[in-house]
Amino acid sequence: MKKSGHVIVGANVAAVGAIEGIRRHDTRSPILTISYETLGSYSKAMLAGYIEGATPEWLEYRGKGYFERMGVECLYGRKVTGLELEKSKLLIEGGEEVGYKNLLLAVGGIPFKPVINGADKKELIFSFTEFLDARQIRESLSKFDSVVVIGAGFTGTEIAYTLNKLNKKVSVIELGDRVLVKALDPRSSGLAESLMREEGIDFYLNDTVEEIEGKKNISGVRLKSGKSIPCQAIITAIGVVPNGQLMSNTALNFNRGLEVDEFMRTNIPNVYGAGDVVKALDITDGQKRPLPLWPLAYQQGIVAGANMAGAKYPYAGGLPMNSLKFLKVPILSAGITTPPDSGYEGIYFNDPKGSFYRSLVLKEGRLKGFVTIGAIDGAGVLTGLIKSQLDMSELKEALLYEKRIGLIRLPREWRNKIFTRRDETGYHD
């Protein structure tokens, strides 16, 4: 049996964070990462760019030779199929066994795939979650002119926008009554939808695909509303859920996400979790939930890695943030963007000259979230205010109406509180 000190299942950003966390405290112990993908760490935010023609090297997160430089052994293209936690070992497809001192599960999320009539044995049905999906879409571009995207969330709108740019006829089907429902408030979601419609993308809201039409090849989809949309390809993009495939039939606590404590440790003392697979602390409401975002996966990885190497650093929690960089006008949002109940106050400003939009959500005078469109310069101040939870009742109007929010707006004693907050790892969050 192969043996290693720190073993990481997964090789993407949570794994990279962990490697860096481990190496801050332990420069010698062997580290082994195992990933079923053939690329190591790569940016999923750039997958759309890859479909447009960029090289795989362009996606690399830490550049060539990173894992070697960090003294990490990599097994790529190898799937872990089982965990034997009581013996501190895992099994790899093909029968190989690997023993570990500490294990990190950084296995990410898996796409939620709807079951649709007529999908059987049809080609040109894709997910958009990992490099292989992007490669398959790119290699099939010449085989379709029109495509249906299921889901108008972050990845659905991004792939829709990209394929539209590549001269495909794109129709997006969304079960909810608006686009980007998790990231935006209803007004900004309407603005984002108009921007995408202006580019030629069609949206079908409050609807869903009931059947895929066509005998051998896809000829279209039939919606619940009865409408039919001709298309030759389908991309499902209705989100990811924490990847629990390895956790079933083990003693690990997994309930719609791997449960971890503040040290990113699971209920098994030498097993840790980080990234899209875990339920992590959301500082906007103090609840633990899956927060599938790149910077949070990295920070959780650092904390897990440091603790695997014997340190004792708690995770300070994260703030969900989204930036829509593909539209003509930049859109940024963070925290709670739509007041969930009457305990929250929602205020907004749509500049009459049309140059920017901003909405704020507050609770008892404290900022809980915001959306800003076309004026993103002050976003750092706003995220700082969410993290610090200072009472900003008296400043809320200035922060709403001013296009460029300068630090000068804030009382002097606040500036340090907002901009020197560090988590316990010593990294800025």
Ligand X SMILES: Cc1cc2nc3c(=O)[nH]c(=O)nc-3n(C[C@H](O)[C@H](O)[C@H](O)COP(=O)(O)OP(=O)(O)OC[C@H]3O[C@@H](n4cnc5c(N)ncnc54)[C@H](O)[C@@H]3O)c2cc1C
User: Looking at 9-17, 216-224, 265-273, 417-425, which segment touches ligand X (CB under 6 A)?
Assistant: 9-17
Q: Which of 20, 276, 282, 429 binds ligand X (CB under 6 A)?
A: 276
Footprint (CB under 6 A) of ligand X, residues 239-258: 243, 246
Handedness of CA 176, 181, 186, 189 (dihedral sign): negative
Side chain identity at 111, as an amino acid letter? Answer: P
User: In whole angstroms, how close is the CB of 358 to ligand X at the nearest point?
Assistant: 21
Q: Which of 4, 88, 129, 425 binds ligand X (CB under 6 A)?
A: 129
User: Can residue 79 be called a binding residue for ligand X (CB under 6 A)?
Assistant: yes
User: Can residue 284 be called a binding residue for ligand X (CB under 6 A)?
Assistant: no
3-state secondary structure the chain: CEECCEEEECCCHHHHHHHHHHHHHCCCCCEEEEECCCCCCECHHHHHHHHCCCCHHHHECCCCCHHHHCCEEEEECCCEEEEEHHHCEEEECCCCEEECCEEEECCCEEECCCCCECCCCCCCEEECCCHHHHHHHHHHHHHCCEEEEECCCHHHHHHHHHHHHCCCEEEEECCCCCCCCCCCCHHHHHHHHHHHHHCCCEEECCCCEEEEECCCCCCEEEECCCCEEECCEEEECCCEEECCCCCCCCCCCECCCEECCCCCECCCCCEEECCCCEEEEECCCCEEECCCCHHHHHHHHHHHHHHHCCCCCCCCCECCEEEECCCCCCEEEEECCCCCCCCCEEEEEECCCCCCEEEEEEECCEEEEEEEECCCCCHHHHHHHHHHCCECHHHHHHHHHCCCCCHHHCCHHHHHHHHCCECCCCCEC
User: In whole angstroms, how close is the CB of 155 to ligand X at the nearest point?
Assistant: 4
User: In whole angstroms, how close is the CB of 293 to ligand X at the nearest point?
Assistant: 4
User: In whole angstroms, how close is the CB of 133 to ligand X at the nearest point?
Assistant: 8
User: Looking at 291-299, 309-317, 328-336, 379-387, which segment touches ligand X (CB under 6 A)?
Assistant: 291-299
Q: Determine whether 422 is exposed, middle or buried from the number of CB atoms within 10 Å of its CB (0-12, 13-18, 19+).
A: exposed
User: Can residue 150 be called a binding residue for ligand X (CB under 6 A)?
Assistant: no
Footprint (CB under 6 A) of ligand X, residues 184-243: 243
**Beta carbon nearer to ligand X, 14 or 223:** 14
User: Can residue 138 be called a binding residue for ligand X (CB under 6 A)?
Assistant: no
**Beta carbon nearer to ligand X, 98 or 191:** 98
CA distance 388 to 146: 47
User: In whole angstroms, how close is the CB of 11 to ligand X at the nearest point?
Assistant: 4
User: In whole angstroms, how close is the CB of 197 to ligand X at the nearest point?
Assistant: 22
User: Can residue 89 be called a binding residue for ligand X (CB under 6 A)?
Assistant: no
Footprint (CB under 6 A) of ligand X, residues 100-119: 106-109
User: In whole angstroms, how close is the CB of 296 to ligand X at the nearest point?
Assistant: 7
User: In whole angstroms, how close is the CB of 257 to ligand X at the nearest point?
Assistant: 12
Q: Backbone phi, then psi, for 304, in 5-degree steps?
A: -60, -45
Size of the site for ligand X (CB under 6 A): 32
b/e sequence 204-243, b meaning 16+ C-beta within 10 Å = beebbbeebebeeebebbbbeeeeebebbbbbbbbbbbbb
CA distance 169 to 205: 17
**Beta carbon nearer to ligand X, 382 or 410:** 382
User: In whole angstroms, how close is the CB of 253 to ligand X at the nearest point?
Assistant: 18
User: In whole angstroms, how close is the CB of 12 to ligand X at the nearest point?
Assistant: 3
User: Looking at 258-266, 289-297, 303-311, 356-364, which segment touches ligand X (CB under 6 A)?
Assistant: 289-297
Q: Which of 102, 155, 266, 337 binds ligand X (CB under 6 A)?
A: 155
**Beta carbon nearer to ligand X, 189 or 322:** 322
x/- mask, ligand X, residues 10-29, rule CB under 6 A, reads xxxxxx--------------
Q: Which of 61, 263, 294, 349 binds ligand X (CB under 6 A)?
A: 294
Footprint (CB under 6 A) of ligand X, residues 168-187: none
User: In whole angstroms, how close is the CB of 236 to ligand X at the nearest point?
Assistant: 12
Footprint (CB under 6 A) of ligand X, residues 35-74: 35-37, 44-45, 47
Residue 242's nearest CA partner among 108, 390, 341 is 108
**Beta carbon nearer to ligand X, 104 or 405:** 104
User: Can residue 128 be called a binding residue for ligand X (CB under 6 A)?
Assistant: yes
Binding interface with ligand X (CB under 6 A): 9-15, 34-37, 44-45, 47, 79-80, 106-109, 128-129, 155, 243, 246, 275-276, 292-295, 297
